[in-house]
Amino acid sequence: MLVEYNIAMPCVHYLSSGITGRLIPMPWFSAAMIVVILTASLELGVVQSSTVVGYYSHSCPAAEKIVSQVVAEQFATRPLVAAGILRLYFHDCFVEGCDGSILLDASPDGTPPEKRSLANNNTATGFELVDAAKRRIEAVCPGTVSCADILALAARDSVAISGGPRWEEPTGRYDGRVSLASNADGSIPGPSFNLTRLIHSFANKTLDSRDLVTLSGGHTIGRSHCANFQIRLYNSSGTGLPDPALNPAYATALRRICPNTSPARRATLSLDRGSEIPFDNSYFVQLLAGNGLLRSDEELLLDGSMRGLISAFAANQRLFFREFAKAMVKLGGIGVKDSIQGEIRLHCRRVNRRNSGSSPRVPTPPPPIMRSRAPPPPY
């Protein structure tokens, strides 16, 4: 078993037990002194960058329940909000890491944030759900729970309430202070990516081909705009013809809903044919039948090992659920900020003002949790 700590020497600058901010030349340090300093850093929780299950169990025990309640309330009237939150979380993690940067509005100088990138503008949804959860949590635990963690928990609960797996989500993230549309456009995998670009995009985030297939299964819920796949219907690879990989009957049905006109590009269709709300393994079944909506979906079938995994998921929903839970925990570890790199935002749409007296408290983590690196299976 492992106790997970992330120790960084910058902790020394922030020790308050009689240690000044001056850097002492290394020759003055003895091995014993270094051990004392590092131990004090851990005890004070000065720099926290790793995530653990139950991070808020002492500082804000109601946090996870509040997020679950808000997700349930909004899902009851807008079930597609679950897909919006899942997509929002994925897009957040793929840019600056899982730091809630996608939630930020434009900075005072007007620089477009991530939510105004080509990948997100007018299509990213779920912001209001995160705002609602943040307001309720701030009322009981001010300055304690990060927006990044709220988004991660909301993604987990959105999958579960849609019928999918529920897993133990590690928390303890800090909120990022940088959000740039230009960074998002170069980082988020697109619906027209070929297999090589998809694999490269995921590898850049320490995700492998198995994660690629598994996380693509999130397309079992939600809808997509015609603009994301219209070229497959009318001019695949510049041929002036539909994509031959598409089921002909499915292609005909798609062309009726998405005619080759500009206004039609705003129309939407289910990513998983005939099944846009329940979270299940239908996406993989449809993919094998030639009913994959996006080119990025269809490309997964070109690799033999990926196709084998798709077939396994299509035949075994429990296997897919188990692997999806594991992949989501892995996704949630990308680019986690510590208390120096990030902050606990008071409002999810804007960074905290510096030197305004409104800086929130640094959350106090619970006692170290003994656990293995792999989360327990959801079943």
Summarised one tens digit per residue, pLDDT across range 146-203 is 999 999 999 999 999 999 999 999 999 999 999 999 999 889 999 999 999 999 999 9
Whether 91 is catalytic is yes
Summarised one tens digit per residue, pLDDT across range 304-328 is 999 999 999 999 999 999 999 999 9
pLDDT of residue 48: 52
- In sign, the C-alpha dihedral spanning 31, 36, 37, 38 is positive
- The Cα 192–Cα 162 span in angstroms is 27
Within its chain, how far is the Cα of 183 from the centroid? 16
- The Cα 365–Cα 219 span in angstroms is 34
Q: Which of 15-29, 61-75, 169-183 has the lowest mean pLDDT?
A: 15-29
Percent of the chain with pLDDT over 70: 80
pLDDT of residue 107: 86
Percent of the chain with pLDDT over 90: 74
Summarised one tens digit per residue, pLDDT across range 274-309 is 889 999 999 999 999 999 999 999 999 999 999 999
Query: What rounded mean pLDDT belongs to the chain?
Result: 85
Determine how many CB atoms are found less than 10 A away from the CB of residue 214.
25
Q: If you write DSSP's letter for every residue of 128-141 in order, what string do you get?
A: HHHHHHHHHHHHHS
Exposure class string for 301-339: b at 16+ Cβ within 10 A, else e: bebeebeebbeebbeebeebbbbbbbbbbbbbbbbbbbb
List beta partners, residue 174.
Answer: 337
**More confident: 68 or 14:** 68
Summarised one tens digit per residue, pLDDT across range 219-261 is 999 999 999 999 999 999 899 999 999 999 999 999 999 999 8
What residues have CB less than 8 Å from 108, skipping those under 6 apart? Answer: none
Per annotation, catalytic residue among 91, 219, 225, 347: 91
Amino acid (one-letter) located at 114: E
